[in-house]
Structure 1
């Protein structure tokens, strides 16, 4: 059940900030198994048309709704960035019923089976990305005017990655972690944060600093279909971006493209 994954007081723990005037992040604490502090993050983008798109939405608090209203209030797109980041889709869809719901293949069917979870309704998806013909799938003219996007079907979690071209901002879920999740845990008392050996070990293989050899190994060996994933990463590498907003860990501002090329070096070049 999703209740075990969600803080009971998200409004008190959420950090809301503008990465750019058009891009807002909602950062919250999130732990796996109660032991691994990986953090969670939703991202709101104001398109040049004035419509709003939310990626991997987190809890819809009063402060969240206020920020949406400040950005124009017209939520046109609700995007599940992968097979796992979907818990709050129904909450947002109920509040903004005109929004198109977007996600990867298999997710609508997965959600349809989770009938006992009060957070999840059997919502209709407007756009579902599939491996076959994935680059022929389009979202809408106003959306496509601002975004590059790629379905990384070779990733185990079926990742959707978006680049908001006006602000050179890449938005992703589990493609790349940037731990520790400093911003996401900044409102959590130190005594209540996960700690211990397992947490330190996990952060040691999900960071972006230094040579990052172990994180590169996790990326390389964790691919479901390495050839397809490498192909997708080469497509993404051609995009013009300088900031990366991950769901897990701190935002990479200014040096995002360099970090991307370092972390995915083996995939981009073809590891021997």
Structure 2
């Protein structure tokens, strides 16, 4: 696999497969910055309960590139506070979808930042076109050697063999791994640090990214396991 070499820091954004109530449940978002580089790395998090009662939470991640432009993995709403945070970082140039199901808020980010490129995964172009949004790039559909403009600072690896067609990103200078559904880092203590979860479920504590239960669950989501295993190493 290409992602683990970046594992010292994981910013994982969790989402649901049934999206009907997602926007309202994620409207309360809070921010934190990377402890080493507050001007470079921002994570936006908030409460979210899958199916209305399983507390997962959600995260978006923004990185300020050396050019001054901002790269955003947009998995939570663009609230007023979120936009203020992004505007202070710099001009948003890249709006990213981490996989096929992290797409709900791409439109509102694009509306706020019309000059930014919106980049997702294979299949999102057709899906979002019906909603009036044009994708500027799709991992898995575009040629494998396609460069979108941030690759010198943020490496990527497309997991076509994973159910949600996830992309793993690695911010090279901070050694930060940024994923959508390839990893889960539960229980969602940070996401619910400013609010109470709807329910306390004992098994959530067993779903941290070291647990065998989580590994088994993620393994089951691999629809083409040989493809995933054969992926090249992006960063040694």
The answer as to 2:162 corresponding to 1:161 is no
Q: Deviations over 1:67-98 (max 9, x none)?
A: 112112x1100000000111110101001000
The 1-side partners of 2:64 and 2:55 are apart by 29
Q: 1:25 to 1:62 in 2, by over 3 A?
A: same
Answer yes or no: is the 8 Å Cα contact 1:30–1:38 preserved in 2.
yes
The 2-side partners of 1:108 and 1:122 are apart by 10
User: What is the CA-CA distance between 1:173 and the residue it aligns to?
Assistant: 0.3
The 1-side partners of 2:25 and 2:47 are apart by 11
Answer yes or no: is the 8 Å Cα contact 2:209–2:215 preserved in 1.
no
Larger Rg: 1
The 2-side partners of 1:176 and 1:208 are apart by 6
Aligned match of 1:194: 198
Using the size of structure 2 for normalisation, the TM-score is 0.84
Answer yes or no: is the 8 Å Cα contact 2:26–2:58 preserved in 1.
no
The 1-side partners of 2:53 and 2:26 are apart by 19
With CA pairs under 8 Å and 6+ residues apart, which has the higher RCO, 1 or 2?
2
RMSD of aligned alpha carbons: 2.0
Q: 1:220 to 1:100 in 2, by over 3 A?
A: same
The answer as to 2:145 corresponding to 1:128 is no
User: What is the CA-CA distance between 1:145 and the residue it aligns to?
Assistant: 1.5
- Name the SS for the 1:44 alignment partner: strand
Aligned match of 1:256: none
**Structure holding more helix per residue:** 1
Aligned match of 2:14: none
Aligned match of 1:109: 126
User: What is the CA-CA distance between 1:166 and the residue it aligns to?
Assistant: 1.6
The 2-side partners of 1:9 and 1:24 are apart by 17
Using the size of structure 1 for normalisation, the TM-score is 0.73
Query: Structure 1: which 5+ runs fail to align?
Result: 114-120, 241-272
Q: 1:167 to 1:133 in 2, by over 3 A?
A: same
The answer as to 2:55 corresponding to 1:37 is yes
The 1-side partners of 2:155 and 2:148 are apart by 11
- Name the SS for the 1:167 alignment partner: coil
Q: Deviations over 1:21-74 (max 9, x none)?
A: 2110000111111121111000011001111011034211221111112112x1
The 2-side partners of 1:206 and 1:9 are apart by 21
Which deviates further from its counterpart, 45-54 or 56-65? 56-65
Answer yes or no: is the 8 Å Cα contact 2:124–2:135 preserved in 1.
no
The correspondence for 1:65, drawn from 80, 83, 98, is 83
Aligned match of 2:72: 54
User: What is the CA-CA distance between 1:111 and the residue it aligns to?
Assistant: 2.7
Q: Deviations over 1:117-172 (max 9, x none)?
A: xxxx32111111116843x12212xx122111111111100001111112111110
Runs of 4+ in 1 over 6 A off after TM superposition: none
Query: Structure 2: which 5+ runs fail to align?
Result: 1-17
Aligned match of 1:176: 183
